[in-house]
Amino acid sequence: MQTGSKELIRDINFHLILEAIINEGPISRAGLAKHLGLTKATVSSIVQELLDSGLVREVGSAPAEKGRKPILLSLHQEAGYALAVNIETTGITVMSADLLGTGCRLRQYPVRAFDEGFFSFLLEVLKNTMEALPPSRYGVVGICLGVHGVSRGNRMIFAPYYSLDADLARRLMEALNLPVYLYNEANLSVLGERAFAFNYPDMINISVHSGVGMGILINDHLYTGANGFAGELGHTIVEPDGRPCPCGNLGCLEQYISERALLLELSQRKGYEVSLDELIRLSRDKDPDALFVHQLFLKYMSIGLNNVLNTLNPDLIVINSSFTTYFPDIARTLEKSLNNRMGRPLKIRPSHLQDTAILLGGIYVVLKEFLKVENLRLKPAVTENDM
């Protein structure tokens, strides 16, 4: 019993020291002991174990007024790599990154159909991506798939706009002999924004693309509900008896503010099919039809945000959409409007990560699982002054 307790304490200290090296590094052994309140002997023993494992390396020394200069430690970020895949309705985007979430490489691939051939195609893409990475001690440590639908228990359970194999993650895991994680894209987005951009433990990310999803962080924990359906903001009803939705309901928010819905609205007004680039251009040119669509987005997004704010009361809401990317003032407009109505301070910001939020969230998931640290910060968070 005593041995087990010692092993548990050592394991806890091991991951606390690794976490401090990642988040505070470069840092010396003495700095670790002071930061964590551990003895120098404990720190030295565990640091040697980390050095032997190849996860940590010595990176020079810090200035000292007298005596030996303390040797600094940092994570050996090139010791392994993480992969993330954003599976969209028209194609996939693959990102690779090192153990600090840097050195990111991106590549996009079109997809013609999500049939049985998609698995073989995705498997080949992943193998090619892995082979192109530099040699490293741990190689690829895991893969995260971002899907535009509802997931639970690493399985796909509902997607309105494409048909994916429910056991895609398991099949890839068996084929590659690697950990493979499958997450809803909005959940990955909020994890990405938290890890790489905003320092708020209670925050929400609203993703507006082909559909509308919401990732929820409560006290730094992802909230997905009992069956994985929490955050399906796009399927909350804003117009009773309104437009039909693939989910089976009428008047879902998604049918009024998604990119698909906005392009359809403008196309009907123009009498021809309008692309997203054209919608953005027409909005900048103050085209009356485009401005109508612009106002439509503001109207229904305000309704959705009002419901979210009154239900969950987050510190911050991040909106990730093409509209807020090209017109970032929209977030401030929404914030001002809702502040005036609600009489309490709230923060609404456009995404800092934009198209990479899903992928960086996937990288975060893989690295957190591999490194097994509780609070993984992959780069300095945005402060209020930076926003």
pLDDT of residue 252: 92
Kindly report whether the peptide bond that precedes residue 26 is cis, defined as omega within 30 degrees of 0: yes
What's phi and psi for 157, nearest 5 deg? -120, -20
* Contact assessment for residue 364 and residue 378, using Cβ atoms and an 8 Å cutoff: yes
Instruction: Tell me the pLDDT tens digit for each residue of 75-92.
Output: 999 999 999 999 888 889
Distance CA 100, CA 367 (A): 8
Q: What is the mean pLDDT of residues 366-370?
A: 95
Grouping H, G, I as helix, E, B as strand and the rest as coil, residue 258 is coil
pLDDT of residue 125: 94
In the chain, the amino acid numbered 105 is R
pLDDT band at 2 (very low <50, low <70, confident <90, very high): very low
pLDDT of residue 382: 44
Distance CA 266, CA 296 (A): 11
Distance CA 56, CA 271 (A): 61
pLDDT of residue 318: 94
pLDDT band at 344 (very low <50, low <70, confident <90, very high): low
Q: What is the mean pLDDT of residues 105-122?
A: 87
Q: Which domains does the chain have, with CATH numbers?
A: 2-75 (1.10.10.10), 79-190+357-371 (3.30.420.40), 199-351 (3.30.420.40)
Which stretches within the chain are classed as H helix?
A: 2-24, 29-36, 40-53, 117-132, 168-176, 185-196, 254-257, 259-270, 276-284, 288-312, 322-326, 329-342, 357-371
pLDDT of residue 383: 37
Which stretches within 133-230 are classed as H helix?
A: 168-176, 185-196
Please say if the pLDDT value at position 143 is more than 60. Answer: yes
pLDDT of residue 343: 63
Instruction: Tell me the pLDDT tens digit for each residue of 183-238.
Output: 988 899 999 999 988 889 999 999 998 788 899 999 999 998 877 778 889 889 98
Distance CA 351, CA 348 (A): 10
pLDDT of residue 194: 92
Structure tokens that stand for 387 in this block: 């926003």
* Contact assessment for residue 198 and residue 349, using Cβ atoms and an 8 Å cutoff: yes
Instruction: Tell me the pLDDT tens digit for each residue of 31-74.
Output: 899 988 999 999 999 999 999 999 999 887 767 666 678 889 99
pLDDT of residue 160: 66
pLDDT of residue 66: 65
The mean pLDDT of the chain is 87
**pLDDT over 70, % of the chain:** 93
Instruction: Tell me the pLDDT tens digit for each residue of 262-312.
Output: 999 999 998 999 898 999 899 899 999 999 998 999 999 999 998 898 888
Please say if the pLDDT value at position 128 is more than 80. Answer: yes
pLDDT of residue 386: 42
The total number of residues written for the chain in this structure: 387
